[in-house]
């Protein structure tokens, strides 16, 4: 057993002195530095993980700045937001960044998830990495919902009312739980105060789960577009400088697009009704969730029964947790799965359709389409994905990332860790 | 393929907000000076709009998020703003005797509301609350165009529509029956700069003014945006070149 | 080769430098939002009607969240203040330098010791040993010119920027 750990090997003596005692620089180097080996064939879809991290930092910083000027009281919340927009130095900029940042956080995370689904990154041995990601996604939705309440506009108020009422479907204790959540009989000042407290807390919880997400990522490293396991050093390059500069380029492009929204159409992704102060006595004619929650809202409304609707909605997210066990195909990347590829794109189109239907009035054709799309969502995960494992013949996989020679058939080369029964 | 889908996704975002925000007939589509990435407010129109608001709208509608000092954006100097604010009576207090008292307005005061509270406003208007106008163009789908259309939308009701007591027909209002009587008539105000005060002119000016009231930061926002995006695009080009250089190194190593 | 390498380094360094500059520019609004906002700045001057104040009376007004003492001094108070030899003062300042009009003394009602509000404005208050103000926190005595005469305070009561807009209206700030 070794008593004293080795001295760190940094050139700068101060860094070396610190790192020997507190290995933060070693940790950084292993996280995003030269000591983090990464598959060399990652494409631009792999940019969105680090991008999501940057967006979280932006959200936390602007959020703290807003918190310094915001008043969590039903009589002052709306006014204090307007004061931020009009009187606080740069307040409009900070608020518009935070407001649009929420939407862009979801855009980035949705692309990150879509990439994951396409390349089968959720499969063994990265199941926990995926599950932690779904936890982050759930926390993000909670945080976004809580934050949307804070400006205390009409959509804030009625959104909070509708979503807290989901819990009233719980048999026997539903009503007491709702009043416990609200701190009263309706969404009111106690609700606003606790939502504010939680909205401030949750981002730090997200940051904590992200740390676990990164630890889990580093256990087996990144997946790659071919979906095959890395064979040797020839397949790998250090994260720095290769992916740092690539991520930096991606970040620049992302921020330029983000700025178009922040500076030129800051309210495009919002809803006009939220510039009307909350009025508990009148519901807006057309109440819709923010776009990023829209697909799940569509699922909720597609089911005619209240309890079943809420269950379907939560089930739609819950199903993501067991995805690694629903998809037992040993091949990860959709490149080599001709049938999965087709159904993948159908799934994406279906999600977009659900998102669209979630903001339409659930009548006539929209209701029928909503039900069809909801059904397809569950069919995709519960029937098609398990079925493909049986009926699909994957294409030949390359031997290694560096070696373009294809092996014959889908041997265990490049497949996930073989399971016992195979 | 993924690229196409991403473009589709962005498009669907646009269509969401359009669908979500605009259930009404759109009406007029004016080419406002403040539209577009380089748009700015027309100062003389803003000043006329202030006059229309003060002489017409302000008898029922508040504008509580605007302070008199903000009028410097319209091109007024300190003295003019001070004189303008002094025209209004502000309720202040309580004083040392515990009484509320009236005093002339100051530049730091917000626009004085016509009614002391929402209930008083409702009571004076047959139960309908005349909304605060500070955010009106942001709070209505269709924004400035909707507001302008509404103001010029008072027409003779078609026979098919029965106009209820205390309601008025408006072409562009949802349901066509609005509790606000027609506010603007030709020569309803006499413009200080001599512009002919037609209904369209007044509607256009007050819409410009209220657009400013809703987004006073707009000009600065767009200016900052141009600079920020230009900076980021240069950064993107540079970092792309840097990325190509660094990765070229890798390919060299391998061959 | 080395020329090529230095060009490469230049582009890499330039792009990362732009990132650093951009971050700095983006951080500025986050810092600046903590500075006084436009509505706070708009309240930074206040106008006071002093027409109703009799000789010997005092008025306290709030300016930038702090009290300002306005005292319309009696003949005796003015004379007593002027007679004091500057040499015995801790913070030597002539009374003439502390007022714009002899009758009107305008000072911040904040003790220069540790920021308490001295007594002496209301009729019933003690005015300290020198006919001005007395700070109850640590016993500083000020005279009728607001100068420190006894106690721990290091300086005279501060004089805010002010001007007489007319005989009856005083503008502070």
User: What is the average per-residue pLDDT within A70-95?
Assistant: 97
Provide the pLDDT confidence category of residue C8 given band limits of 50, 70 and 90. Answer: low
Q: What is the pLDDT of residue B20?
A: 39
Asked if B86 has any chain C CB less than 8 Å from its own CB, the reply is no
A222 is catalytic: yes
User: What is the average per-residue pLDDT within A21-43?
Assistant: 90
Between A384 and C50, name the one with better pLDDT.
Answer: A384
Percent of chain B at pLDDT exceeding 70: 88
Q: What is the pLDDT of residue A411?
A: 43
Give chain A's mean pLDDT. Answer: 92
CA A350, CA A114: separation in Å to the nearest integer? 13
Chains that touch B (3 or more CB pairs under 8 A): A, C
User: What is the average per-residue pLDDT within A284-311?
Assistant: 91
Instruction: Decide if A271 and B21 are in contact by the 8 Å CB cutoff.
Output: yes
Q: What is the pLDDT of residue A222?
A: 94
Q: Would you say residue A171 has pLDDT above 80?
A: yes
Strand partners, C63: C66
Nearest-CA distance from C33 to chain A in Å? 5
User: What is the average per-residue pLDDT within A261-267?
Assistant: 97
What kind of fold does domain A289-400 have according to CATH? Helix Hairpins (1.10.287)
Query: Closest by alpha carbon to A171, among A313, A317, A374, A311?
Result: A311
Structural domains for chain B: 2-61+132-254 (1.10.760.10)
Q: Would you say residue C137 has pLDDT above 80?
A: yes
As separate numbers, helices (DSSP H) first and strands (DSSP E) second, chain B gives 8, 4
Please say whether the dihedral angle defined by the alpha carbons of residues A242, A244, A249 and A251, taken in this order, is positive or negative: positive
Instruction: Decide if B217 and A86 are in contact by the 8 Å CB cutoff.
Output: yes
Asked if A47 has any chain B CB less than 8 Å from its own CB, the reply is no
**Count of C-beta atoms within a 10 Å radius of residue A328:** 17
Q: Would you say residue B10 has pLDDT above 60?
A: no
Residues of chain C contacting A, Cβ within 8 Å: 12, 15-16, 19, 28-30, 32-35, 37-40
Query: Which of A349-353, A406-410, C108-112 is modeled with the greatest confidence?
Result: A349-353
Query: Closest by alpha carbon to A67, among A146, A127, A184?
Result: A146
Q: What is the pLDDT of residue A50?
A: 95
Phi, psi dihedrals of residue B222, rounded to the nearest 5°: -70, -40
CA B203, CA B183: separation in Å to the nearest integer? 10
Max CA-CA distance within chain B? 91
Q: What is the pLDDT of residue A251?
A: 97
Instruction: Decide if A291 and B247 are in contact by the 8 Å CB cutoff.
Output: no
Cβ-based contacts under 8 A for chains A and B = 117
User: What is the average per-residue pLDDT within B221-226?
Assistant: 97
The answer to whether residues A407 and A396 touch, using CB atoms and an 8 Å cutoff, is yes
Q: What is the pLDDT of residue C55?
A: 87
Query: Closest by alpha carbon to B127, among B183, B179, B57?
Result: B179
Of B106, B108, B235, the CB nearest to C15: B235
Strand C46-49 to C58-63 pairing: unpaired
Sheet-wide strand order for C104-108: C58-63, C66-72, C104-108
For C:34-63, CB contacts with B below 8 A are 38-39, 42-43, 47
Provide the pLDDT confidence category of residue A315 given band limits of 50, 70 and 90. Answer: very high
Q: What is the pLDDT of residue C52?
A: 84
Instruction: Decide if B106 and C11 are in contact by the 8 Å CB cutoff.
Output: no
Instruction: Decide if B242 and C11 are in contact by the 8 Å CB cutoff.
Output: yes
Provide the pLDDT confidence category of residue A405 given band limits of 50, 70 and 90. Answer: low
Q: What are the domain boundaries of chain A? A: 26-287, 289-400
DSSP secondary structure letters along A259-322:
HHHHHH-TTTTS-GGGGSBP-TT---SS----GGGHHHHHHHHHSSSHHHHHHHHHHHHHGGGG
pLDDT tens per residue, range B87-119: 999 998 887 788 999 989 999 999 999 999 989
Q: What is the pLDDT of residue A185?
A: 93
CA A58, CA A254: separation in Å to the nearest integer? 13
Q: What are the Cα distances from residue A124, in Å, to A90, A129, A272, C111?
A: 47, 10, 45, 71
Q: What is the pLDDT of residue B21?
A: 38
Q: Would you say residue B127 has pLDDT above 90?
A: no
What kind of fold does domain A26-287 have according to CATH? Cytochrome Bc1 Complex; Chain C (1.20.810)
User: What is the average per-residue pLDDT within A219-227?
Assistant: 93
CA B74, CA B91: separation in Å to the nearest integer? 26
The answer to whether residues C106 and C170 touch, using CB atoms and an 8 Å cutoff, is yes
Q: Would you say residue C172 has pLDDT above 60?
A: yes
pLDDT tens per residue, range B31-86: 999 999 999 999 999 999 999 999 999 999 999 999 999 999 999 999 999 999 99
CA A413, CA A78: separation in Å to the nearest integer? 60
Between C6 and A417, name the one with better pLDDT.
Answer: C6
Provide the pLDDT confidence category of residue C48 given band limits of 50, 70 and 90. Answer: confident
Q: What is the pLDDT of residue B26?
A: 56
Q: Would you say residue C1 has pLDDT above 50?
A: no
Of B17, B65, B243, the CB nearest to A86: B65
Asked if A288 has any chain B CB less than 8 Å from its own CB, the reply is yes
Residues in A touching B65 (Cβ below 8 Å): 79, 82, 86
Residue of chain C with shortest Cα separation from B103: C49
pLDDT tens per residue, range C22-33: 999 999 999 999
Q: What is the pLDDT of residue B174?
A: 85
Residues in B touching A37 (Cβ below 8 Å): none
User: What is the average per-residue pLDDT within A103-115?
Assistant: 98
Between C57 and B11, name the one with better pLDDT.
Answer: C57
Of A249, A268, A348, the CB nearest to B240: A249
Residue B59 gets the label, from left (phi > 0), alpha (psi -120 to 50) or beta, of alpha
Nearest-CA distance from A253 to chain B in Å? 6
**H, E, C per residue of B178-200:** ECCCCCCCCCCCCCCCCCCCCHH
Selected catalytic residue, list A50, A222, A294, A410: A222
Q: Would you say residue C47 has pLDDT above 90?
A: no
Asked if C18 has any chain B CB less than 8 Å from its own CB, the reply is yes
A11 is catalytic: no
DSSP secondary structure letters along A328-344:
--S---GGG-HHHHHHH
Strand C148-150 to C162-164 pairing: unpaired
Q: Would you say residue B255 has pLDDT above 90?
A: no
Q: What is the pLDDT of residue A7?
A: 76
Q: Would you say residue C127 has pLDDT above 90?
A: no
Q: Would you say residue C73 has pLDDT above 70?
A: yes
Of A61, A62, A88, the CB nearest to C37: A88
Provide the pLDDT confidence category of residue C122 given band limits of 50, 70 and 90. Answer: confident
Residue of chain C with shortest Cα separation from B105: C47
Q: What is the pLDDT of residue A385?
A: 96
Residues in A touching C33 (Cβ below 8 Å): 65, 68-69, 88-91, 94
* pTM for the whole structure: 0.89
> Where do the H-state alpha helices sit in A6-90?
13-21, 24-32, 48-67, 77-86
User: What is the average per-residue pLDDT within C164-173?
Assistant: 88
Between B164 and A320, name the one with better pLDDT.
Answer: A320
Residue of chain C with shortest Cα separation from B237: C15
DSSP secondary structure letters along B74-123:
GT--HHHHHHHHTTSEEEE---TTS--EEEE--TTSBPPPSSSSHHHHHH
Q: Would you say residue B4 has pLDDT above 80?
A: no
Q: Would you say residue A1 has pLDDT above 80?
A: no
CA B169, CA B159: separation in Å to the nearest integer? 11
Provide the pLDDT confidence category of residue C7 given band limits of 50, 70 and 90. Answer: low
Of B67, B231, B245, the CB nearest to C12: B245
Q: Would you say residue B223 has pLDDT above 50?
A: yes
């Amino acid at each position: 057993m070794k008593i004293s750990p080795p001295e760190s090997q940094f050139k700068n003596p101060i860094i070396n002195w610190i790192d020997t005692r507190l290995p933060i620089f070693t940790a950084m180097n292993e996280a995003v530095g030269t000591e983090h080996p990464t598959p060399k064939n990652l494409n631009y879809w792999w940019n969105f993980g680090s991008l999501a991290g940057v967006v979280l930092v932006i959200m936390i910083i602007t959020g703290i700045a807003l918190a310094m000027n915001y008043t969590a009281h039903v009589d002052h919340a709306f006014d204090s937001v307007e004061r931020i927009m009009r009187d606080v130095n740069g307040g409009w900029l900070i608020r518009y960044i935070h407001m649009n940042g929420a939407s862009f956080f979801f855009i980035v995370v949705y692309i990150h998830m879509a990439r994951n689904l396409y390349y089968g990154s959720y499969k063994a041995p990265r199941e926990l990495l995926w599950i932690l990601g779904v936890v982050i996604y759930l926390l993000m939705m909670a945080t976004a919902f809580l934050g949307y309440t804070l400006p205390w506009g009409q959509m804030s108020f009625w959104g909070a009312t509708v979503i807290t009422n989901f819990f009233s479907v719980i048999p026997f204790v539903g009503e007491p739980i709702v009043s416990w959540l609200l701190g009263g009989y309706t969404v009111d000042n106690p609700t606003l105060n606790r939502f504010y407290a939680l909205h401030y807390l949750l981002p730090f919880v997200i940051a904590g789960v992200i740390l676990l997400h990164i630890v889990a990522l580093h256990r087996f490293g990144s997946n790659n577009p071919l979906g095959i396991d890395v064979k040797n050093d020839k397949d790998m390059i250090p994260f720095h400088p290769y992916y740092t500069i690539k991520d930096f380029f991606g970040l620049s492009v992302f921020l330029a697009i983000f700025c178009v929204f922040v500076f030129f159409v800051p309210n495009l992704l919002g809803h006009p009704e939220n510039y009307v102060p909350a009025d508990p006595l009148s519901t807006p004619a057309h109440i819709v969730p923010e776009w990023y929650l829209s697909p799940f809202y569509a699922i909720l409304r597609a089911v005619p029964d209240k309890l079943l609707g809420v269950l379907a909605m939560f089930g739609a997210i819950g199903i993501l947790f067991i995805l690694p066990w629903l998809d037992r195909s040993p091949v990860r990347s959709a490149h080599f799965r001709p049938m999965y590829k087709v159904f993948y794109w159908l799934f994406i189109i279906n999600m977009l359709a659900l998102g669209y239907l979630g903001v339409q009035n659930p009548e006539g054709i929209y209701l029928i389409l909503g039900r069809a799309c909801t059904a397809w969502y569950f069919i995709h995960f519960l029937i098609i994905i398990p079925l493909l494992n049986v009926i699909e013949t994957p294409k030949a996989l390359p031997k290694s990332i560096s070696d373009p020679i294809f092996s014959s058939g889908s041997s265990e080369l490049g497949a996930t860790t073989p399971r016992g029964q195979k | 393929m993924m690229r196409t889908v991403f473009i589709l996704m962005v498009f669907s975002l646009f269509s969401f907000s359009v669908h979500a925000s605009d259930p009404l007939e759109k009406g007029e589509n004016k080419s406002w000076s403040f539209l577009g990435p380089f748009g700015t407010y027309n100062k003389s129109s803003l000043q006329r709009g202030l006059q229309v608001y003060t002489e017409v709208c302000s008898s029922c509608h508040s504008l509580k998020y605007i302070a008199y000092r903000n009028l410097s954006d319209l091109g007024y100097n300190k003295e003019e703003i001070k004189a303008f604010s002094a025209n209004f009576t502000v309720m202040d207090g309580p004083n040392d005797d515990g009484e509320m008292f009236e005093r002339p307005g100051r530049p730091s005061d917000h626009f004085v509301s016509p009614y002391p509270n929402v209930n008083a406003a409702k009571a004076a208007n047959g139960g309908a609350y005349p909304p605060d106008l500070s955010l009106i163009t942001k709070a209505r789908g269709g924004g400035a165009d909707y507001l302008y259309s509404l103001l010029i939308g008072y027409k003779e009701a078609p026979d098919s529509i029965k106009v209820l007591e205390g309601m008025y027909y408006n072409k562009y209002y949802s349901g066509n029956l609005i509790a606000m009587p027609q506010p603007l008539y030709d020569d309803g105000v006499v413009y200080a700069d001599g512009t002919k005060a037609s209904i369209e002119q007044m509607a256009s000016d007050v819409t410009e003014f209220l657009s400013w009231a809703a987004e006073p930061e707009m000009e600065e926002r767009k200016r900052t945006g141009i600079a920020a995006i230009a900076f980021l695009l240069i950064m993107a080009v540079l970092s792309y070149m840097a990325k190509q250089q660094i990765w070229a190194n890798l390919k060299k190593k391998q061959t | 080769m080395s020329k090529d390498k230095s060009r490469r380094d230049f582009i890499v360094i330039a792009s990362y430098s732009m990132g650093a500059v951009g971050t700095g520019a983006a951080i500025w609004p986050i810092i600046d939002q903590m500075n006084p906002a436009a509505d706070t700045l708009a309240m930074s001057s206040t106008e006071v009607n002093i027409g109703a104040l009799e000789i010997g009376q005092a008025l306290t007004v709030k300016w930038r969240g702090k009290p300002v003492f306005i005292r319309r001094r009696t003949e005796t108070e003015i004379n007593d203040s002027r007679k004091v030899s500057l040499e015995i003062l801790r913070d030597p300042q002539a009374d003439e330098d502390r007022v714009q009009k002899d009758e009107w003394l305008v000072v911040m009602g904040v003790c220069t010791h540790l920021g308490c509000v001295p007594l002496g404005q209301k009729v019933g208050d003690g005015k300290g040993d020198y006919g001005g103000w007395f700070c109850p926190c640590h016993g500083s005595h000020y005279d009728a010119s607001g100068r420190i005469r006894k106690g721990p305070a290091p300086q005279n009561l501060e004089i805010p920027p002010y001007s007489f807009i007319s005989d009856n209206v005083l503008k502070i700030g």
